């Protein structure tokens, strides 16, 4: 096997040093009744060339762009990724290293993550961003637990327009605790109804996603004012990070903590993972943040360098008193995001975000013209909800045969919204793709 | 010693991204605009983030220079204990980047994702076979996330039994993630000391386990690199009191095809695909932390689960006792593909061989270095061995000094100061993919360092000398944090 370098001679001489006769004898401390005596029942080893064929067959049994035209976002967005980003991300010095515990030989990862933290903080309008978390859902769950630690209160209010799958993750995280989750309903305009906040007391945090799951842009500022009146923290979330190339950042609207998904920033959909949990806060809360942080410092000669810092928050020092159990995070995804943000640049991200918005508006307008209802009138970014006539499911299936995926049915997540579909348009969908979609749904 | 691996060559300084570039440059090919502009209400729009504008060349040089300041498994031996820094096969990267996989959207109908679902389904089966467990879920995103998922499962199990328990036993050799994961689930971790042989004694567990204790978290082999020989008796005690046995599977690389955890009393465990199953560590992730359970805990696994229904695979949600979701989608699929490719490339025989050679390499290092470095537990080890700096104490040379000096010789240092039960611990995990020559060179480097410690200790206090930077001021970094530029 090409990954195992030992020759028979190597094994023989090493066994002699160890003082045993055969490889099996190395396991003398494993009691006999703990030993597995048989052979593992696994498929026979494949050569590299057989593996290529096997994997290609599996990968070909998937519906992906460009053959398929997907109009689905809902937390996983197809955006163009420059070849330079993929290429640089493949540098094995980044890929095959581990958490930079030894900073002197990990300065590449450390500066890159410091730069990611900086660009992420700028994108979100916050002062401090962590080195990364698993995904948007776990970032948000950790953000809420963080708010509970800061305020020493026990309830959180979560908008019903937070991604439904994120809400399920929050529920899992909260289930064993005594903390309570309250849900904020949504208004006919497709944004969160915060009027009930006045009647909720002892709130640690209020979580609102913008753009929300329906694609609508929330007024975080107004919600934040209400939240702050209650001395609770505004936790802003997002699934489409690119939106902040155009929209006001959560930080500029008063968010105290931001937890969301950065997959849009140069990370392929990859069937939903790995993704990039982004988590940011204002400086006053930085010692309550979960997860790794990279800080700037100097070496013995006064030269600039970087280290993992504020480790006294972390599990390897604080064990059960840590701010989180996180160890391995999604560092390489953060690196991809930094490379992507640097590639699009300040000018480019604005243009790209505009293009996403304008394309989605085009499709929205064309569908409206074709007689379909847009139930939520509020402004959206690159996703929006359409109400199709009843029986649309058949049309949806027919479109699948034409290799068009006409959005995501909302009925499974919002039972009251049967025949409602969430459609997404990014820069990867052309006007022709959209015209074809409209033609087909009308047919 | 022979010529040192470590040398110094030309590397380049590189400023911050935002210190480079000029307004108006592009590193991105903007897609054609084929629709009319449709401005958004100005009240909703912001200034846009303050990102620098860079050309593609600026960016390529930037990250190439940064990469050159890093050390990875592809650079050289990286014997970081408990992290299993084995070689990351390149074909796995190729398979994971196939457009059918990388471009796959998680929320399209299952009929459009059969290839991905088959990979998930089959990997679960392989992991069941390797661990001897009955069911596996791939949703957890990393080892600690798998631990947390395991804790959620234990919590849900006791809830169903009708009485919740408040404590959980965590040995003093455990990874810090264990007590932290338990605490996130509301459990109070009760520390149990390992015995003079470095393992858990039956008596210590019998004295601690009670009806208010949810179970035990055991790392096996443990972080001293020792097999927990009493595991079956310990499991029997925990089970008799109605508790469950959790195994931190971070160290599975020692026992593939040798021990099946499901056969020795384990009820639930997590694996680290980025350790045992060769997926790269990525400078700190992404990893993947599948959780494997015995039959009685299967109803609690995270959903959705991939099941085969008369041919096609579907994503099944109908498990009313499930703990729910621990991640938005199905886990780190890109990592899952790499682990799948690895298992398919290795087959049963080579997986077992990998464990045998990992254990051989660790024992060889232990024997070769035990005169040079203090070995607190002089017994056959599994995939890693733990030394200390006791022999060097007289020269005021510490584990940290030796670790830093190893860099000058071209090696990534082992894990240091962990496990906590060994003062000044040096935890070496070579893995099976290091050849005898490379290991011999590592041993020789360590022996040279030990003689330097006697003859010229200051050389060690000043180390490293050949890295991009010298030792860094971590105290100021923490006191006056500067976390963004």
Facing residue for A34 by CB, picked from B14, B143, B264: B264
Q: Which chain A residue's Cα is nearest to B287?
A: A328
| Residue at token pair 């998904």 | A261
| CA B189 to each of CA B208, B209, B218, B222, B316: distance values in angstroms, whole numbers, following the listed order | 11, 12, 12, 17, 34
Domain boundary among B319, B344, B369: B344
For residue B423, the domain's CATH number is 3.90.1150.10
Neighbours of B274 (CB within 10 A): 29
Q: How many helices (H) and strands (E) does chain A have?
A: 12, 14
Based on the fold, state whether residues B135 and B100 are members of the same structural domain.
Answer: yes
pLDDT, tens digit (0-9, with 9 covering 90-100), for B175-207? 999 999 999 999 999 999 999 999 999 999 999
My answer on whether B382 and B323 are in the same domain is no
Residues B252 and B120 in one domain: yes
Average pLDDT over residues A349-353: 97
CB spacing of B469 vs A103 below 8 angstroms: yes
Average pLDDT over all residues of chain A: 96
Contacts of B119 (CB under 8 A, 6+ apart): A58, B333, B336, B337, B340
pLDDT surpasses 90 at B3: no
CATH of the domain at B327: 3.40.640.10
pLDDT of B76 > 80? The answer is yes
Alpha-carbon distances, residue A268 vs A77, A336, B93, B205, B278 (angstroms):
8, 10, 14, 47, 21
- Tell me, yes or no, whether B313 and B208 share the same domain: yes
Question: What percent of chain A has pLDDT above 70?
Answer: 100
Report CB contact under 8 Å: A346, B145: no
- Please state, in angstroms and as integers, the Cα–Cα distance from residue B346 to each residue in A293, B280, B342, B417, following that order: 37, 17, 6, 34
> How far lies B388's CA from each of A33, A279, B423, in Å?
32, 38, 7
Contacts of B114 in chain A (CB under 8 A): 61-62
Q: Is A173 on the interface with B (CB under 8 A)?
A: yes
Domain presence at residue B394: yes
Beta strand residue intervals within B55-208, DSSP E? 135-137, 167-171, 188-192
- Are A61 and B100 a contacting pair at CB < 8 A? yes
**Interface touch B360/A65, C-beta < 8 Å:** no
Q: What pLDDT sits at residue A321?
A: 85
Domain assignment of residue B112, yes or no: yes
Q: Do the chains contact at B477 and A88, CB–CB below 8 Å?
A: no
Mutation to test the A interface, candidates B48, B278, B377, B431, most A Cβ within 10 Å:
B48
Q: Which of B25, B49, B368 sits opposite A245 (nearest CB)?
A: B49
Does B311 score more than 90 pLDDT?
Answer: no
Say if A327 is an interface residue toward chain B (CB within 8 Å). Answer: yes
Q: How far is CA B244 from CA B58, B157, B268, B294, B304, in A?
A: 55, 9, 8, 11, 24
Residues B200 and B335 in one domain: yes
Residue A218, pLDDT > 90, answer yes
pLDDT of residue B102: 97
Residue B146 lies inside a defined structural domain of this protein:
yes
Q: Which of A418, A422, A388, A419 has its CA nearest to residue A405?
A: A422
**Has residue B388 been placed in a domain?**
yes
pLDDT of residue A320: 85
Cβ within 8 Å, pair B433-A4? yes
pLDDT beyond 80 at A162 = yes
Measured in whole angstroms, the distance separating CA A408 from the mean position of its chain's CA atoms is 19
Q: Cβ of A433 under 8 Å from any chain B Cβ?
A: no
CB B343 within 8 A of CB B358: no
Q: Which residues in chain B are contacts of A26 at CB distance < 8 A?
A: 356, 359-360, 363, 380
Query: Which stretches does DSSP call E strand in B108-261?
Result: 135-137, 167-171, 188-192, 213-219, 244-248
Are B254 and B276 found together in one domain?
yes
Strand intervals (E) in B147-253: 167-171, 188-192, 213-219, 244-248
What gap in Å lies between CA A221 and CA A228, rounded to an integer? Answer: 10
Tens of pLDDT, residues A242-261: 999 999 999 999 999 999 99
Q: For residue A297, give the nearest of B282, B359, B474 by CB distance.
A: B474
- Which helix (H) or strand (E) segment holds residue B147: the answer is helix B143-161
Co-location of B251 and B378 in the same domain:
no
Give A398→chain B minimum CA distance, Å: 13
Q: Is the pLDDT of residue B85 over 70?
A: yes
Examine residue B56 and state whether it is found in any structural domain, yes or no: no
Which of B219, B483, B485 is the best residue to mutate to test the A interface, defined by the most A CB atoms within 10 Å of its own CB?
B483
Mean pLDDT along residues B360-381: 97
* Residue B357 binned pLDDT confidence (cut-offs 50, 70, 90): very high
Give the closest-approach CA distance of A426 to chain B in angstroms: 10
Q: Does B244 share its domain with B322?
A: yes
Which domains are present in chain A?
A: 69-81+345-442 (3.90.1150.10), 83-340 (3.40.640.10)
Domain-located, residue B69: no
Q: Give the residues across from B305 on adjacent strands.
A: B316
pLDDT at residue B297 in the model: 98
Render pLDDT for A121-149 as a digit per residue (tens, 0 to 9): 999 999 999 999 999 999 999 999 999 99
**Domain range for B180:** 92-344
pLDDT digit string (tens) for B373-426? 999 999 999 999 999 999 999 999 999 999 999 999 999 999 999 999 999 999
Least confident range from A171-180, A378-387, B135-144, B171-180: namely B171-180
Q: Does A245 touch chain B (CB under 8 A)?
A: yes
**Residue B60 included in any domain:** no
- pLDDT tens for residues A355-405? 999 999 999 999 999 999 999 999 999 999 999 999 999 999 999 999 999
To the nearest whole Å, the CA of A229 is away from the closest chain B CA by: 23
Cβ-contact B334, B287 below 8 angstroms? no
Rounded-to-integer distance, Cα A128 and Cα A131, Å:
10
Q: Number of H helices and number of E strands within chain B?
A: 13, 12
Burial A252-263 (b: 16+ CB within 10 A, else e): bbbbbbbbbbbb
Domain boundary among the residues B293, B326, B344 is at B344
The residue among B162, B157, B170, B144 whose CA lies nearest residue B295 is: B157
CB contact under 8 Å between B483 and A294, yes or no, is yes
Name the pLDDT band for B1 (thresholds 50, 70, 90): low
Which of B303, B328, B344 finishes a domain?
A: B344
Q: Does A165 touch chain B (CB under 8 A)?
A: yes
pLDDT at A297 (0 to 100) = 98
Query: Does residue B482 lie within any of the structural domains?
Result: no
Chain B interface, mutation test: which of A34, A405, A435, most B Cβ atoms within 10 Å?
Answer: A34
Residue A82 tokens read as 């420059």
Q: Residue A117's closest chain B neighbor by CA?
A: B484
A32 touches chain B (CB under 8 A): no
Does the distance separating the beta carbons of A122 and B474 come in below 8 Å?
no
Are B143 and B129 found together in one domain? yes
Do B168 and B308 lie in one domain? The reply is yes
Q: How many domains does chain B have?
A: 2
A306–B286 C-beta distance less than 8 A: no
Within an 8 Å CB–CB cutoff, is residue A98 touching chain B? yes
Cβ A361–B38 below 8 Å, yes or no? yes
Which of A62, A300, A327 is closest, CB to CB, to B101? A62
Residue spans of beta strands (DSSP E) within A285-417 = 294-298, 304-308, 383-387, 404-405, 408-409
Distance in angstroms (rounded) separating the CA atoms of residues A114 and B472: 15
Mean pLDDT of chain B: 96
Whether A23 and chain B come into contact, CB under 8 Å, resolves to yes
Q: A261-292, pLDDT tens digit by residue?
A: 999 999 999 999 999 999 999 999 999 999 99
B441 and B318 belong to one structural domain: no
Are B237 and B370 found together in one domain? no
State the Cα–Cα distance between residues A277 and A136, nearest whole angstrom. Answer: 5
Q: Which of A94, A117, A316 comes nearest B70 by C-beta?
A: A94
């Amino acid at each position: 096997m090409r990954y195992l370098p030992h020759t028979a001679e190597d094994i023989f001489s090493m066994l002699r040093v160890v003082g045993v006769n055969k490889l099996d004898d190395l396991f003398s401390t494993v009691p006999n009744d703990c030993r597995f005596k048989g052979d593992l029942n696994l498929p026979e080893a494949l050569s590299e060339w057989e593996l290529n064929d096997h994997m290609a067959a599996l990968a070909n049994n998937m519906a992906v762009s460009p053959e398929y035209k997907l109009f689905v976002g809902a937390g996983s967005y197809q955006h163009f990724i420059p070849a330079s980003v993929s290429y640089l991300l493949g540098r094995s010095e980044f890929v095959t290293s581990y958490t930079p515990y030894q900073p002197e030989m990990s300065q590449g990862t450390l500066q890159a993550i410091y730069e990611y933290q900086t660009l992420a903080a700028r994108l979100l309008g916050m002062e401090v961003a962590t080195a990364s978390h698993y995904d948007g859902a776990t970032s948000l769950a950790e953000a809420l637990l963080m708010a509970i630690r800061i305020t020493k209160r026990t309830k959180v209010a979560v908008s019903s327009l937070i991604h439904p799958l994120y809400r399920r993750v929050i529920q899992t995280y909260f289930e064993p605790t005594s903390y309570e989750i309250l849900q904020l309903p949504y208004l006919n305009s497709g944004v969160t109804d915060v009027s009930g906040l006045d009647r909720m007391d002892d709130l640690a945090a209020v979580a609102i996603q913008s753009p929300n799951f329906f694609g609508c842009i929330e007024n975080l500022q107004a919600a934040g004012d209400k939240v702050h009146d209650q001395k609770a923290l505004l936790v802003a979330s997002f699934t489409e990070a690119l939106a902040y190339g155009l929209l006001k950042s959560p930080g500029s609207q008063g968010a105290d903590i931001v937890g969301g998904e950065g997959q849009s920033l140069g990370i392929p959909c990859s069937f939903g993972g790995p993704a990039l949990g982004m988590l940011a806060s204002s400086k006053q809360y930085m010692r309550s943040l979960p997860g790794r942080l990279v800080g700037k410092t100097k070496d013995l000669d006064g030269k600039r360098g970087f280290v993992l810092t504020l480790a006294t928050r972390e599990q390897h020092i604080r064990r059960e008193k840590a701010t989180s159990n996180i160890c391995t995070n999604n560092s390489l995804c953060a690196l991809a995001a930094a490379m992507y943000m640097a590639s699009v640049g300040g000018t480019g991200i604005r243009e790209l975000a505009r293009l996403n918005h304008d394309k989605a508006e085009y499709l929205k307008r064309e569908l409206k013209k074709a007689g379909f209802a847009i139930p939520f009138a509020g402004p959206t970014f690159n996703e929006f909800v359409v109400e199709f006539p009843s029986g649309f499911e058949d049309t949806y299936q027919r479109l699948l045969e034409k290799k068009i995926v006409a959005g995501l049915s909302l009925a499974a997540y919002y039972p009251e919204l049967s025949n409602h579909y969430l459609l997404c348009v990014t820069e990867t969908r052309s006007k022709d793709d959209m015209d074809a979609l409209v033609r087909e749904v009308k047919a | 010693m022979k010529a040192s691996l470590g040398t110094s060559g030309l590397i380049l300084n590189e400023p911050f991204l935002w210190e480079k570039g000029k307004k108006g440059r592009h590193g991105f090919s903007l897609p054609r605009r084929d629709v009319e502009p449709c401005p958004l209400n100005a009240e909703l729009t912001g200034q846009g983030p303050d990102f620098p504008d860079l050309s593609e060349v600026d960016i390529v040089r930037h990250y190439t220079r940064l990469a050159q300041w890093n050390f990875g498994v592809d650079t050289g031996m990286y014997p970081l204990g408990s992290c299993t820094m084995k070689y990351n096969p390149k074909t796995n990267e190729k398979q994971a980047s196939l457009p059918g996989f990388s471009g796959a959207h998680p929320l399209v109908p299952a009929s459009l994702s059969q290839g991905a679902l088959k990979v998930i389904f089959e990997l679960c089966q392989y992991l069941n076979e390797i661990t001897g467990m009955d069911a596996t879920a791939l949703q957890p995103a990393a080892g600690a996330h798998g631990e947390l998922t395991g804790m959620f499962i234990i919590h849900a199990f006791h809830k169903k039994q009708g009485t919740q328990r408040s404590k959980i036993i965590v040995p003093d050799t455990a990874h810090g993630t264990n007590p932290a994961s338990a605490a996130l689930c509301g459990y109070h971790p009760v520390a149990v000391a390992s015995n003079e042989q470095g393992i858990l004694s039956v008596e210590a567990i019998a004295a601690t386990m009670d009806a208010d204790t949810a179970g035990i978290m055991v790392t096996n082999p443990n972080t001293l690199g020792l097999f927990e020989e009493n595991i079956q008796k310990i499991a029997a005690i925990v089970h008799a009191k109605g508790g469950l046995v959790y195994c931190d599977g971070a160290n599975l690389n020692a026992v593939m095809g040798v021990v099946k955890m499901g056969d020795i009393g384990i009820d639930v465990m997590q694996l680290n695909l980025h350790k045992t199953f060769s997926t790269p560590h990525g400078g700190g992730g992404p990893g993947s932390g599948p959780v494997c359970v015995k039959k009685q805990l299967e109803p609690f696994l995270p959903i959705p689960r991939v099941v085969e229904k008369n041919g096609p695979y579907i994503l099944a949600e109908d498990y009313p006792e499930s703990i729910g979701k621990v991640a938005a989608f199905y886990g780190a699929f890109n990592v899952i593909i790499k682990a799948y490719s690895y298992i398919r490339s290795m087959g049963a025989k080579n997986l077992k061989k990998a464990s045998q050679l990992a254990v051989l390499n660790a024992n060889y290092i232990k024997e070769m270095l035990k005169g040079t470095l203090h070995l607190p537990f002089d017994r056959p080890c599994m995939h890693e061995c733990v030394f200390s700096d006791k022999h060097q104490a007289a020269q005021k040379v510490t584990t940290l000094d030796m670790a830093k000096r190893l860099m000058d010789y071209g090696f990534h240092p082992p894990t240091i100061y962990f496990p906590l039960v060994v003062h000044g611990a040096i935890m070496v995990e070579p893995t099976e993919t290091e050849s005898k020559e490379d290991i011999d060179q590592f041993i020789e480097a360590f022996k040279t360092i030990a003689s330097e410690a006697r003859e010229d200790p200051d050389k060690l206090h000043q180390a490293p000398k050949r890295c991009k930077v010298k030792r860094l001021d971590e105290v100021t970094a923490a006191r006056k944090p500067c976390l963004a530029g």
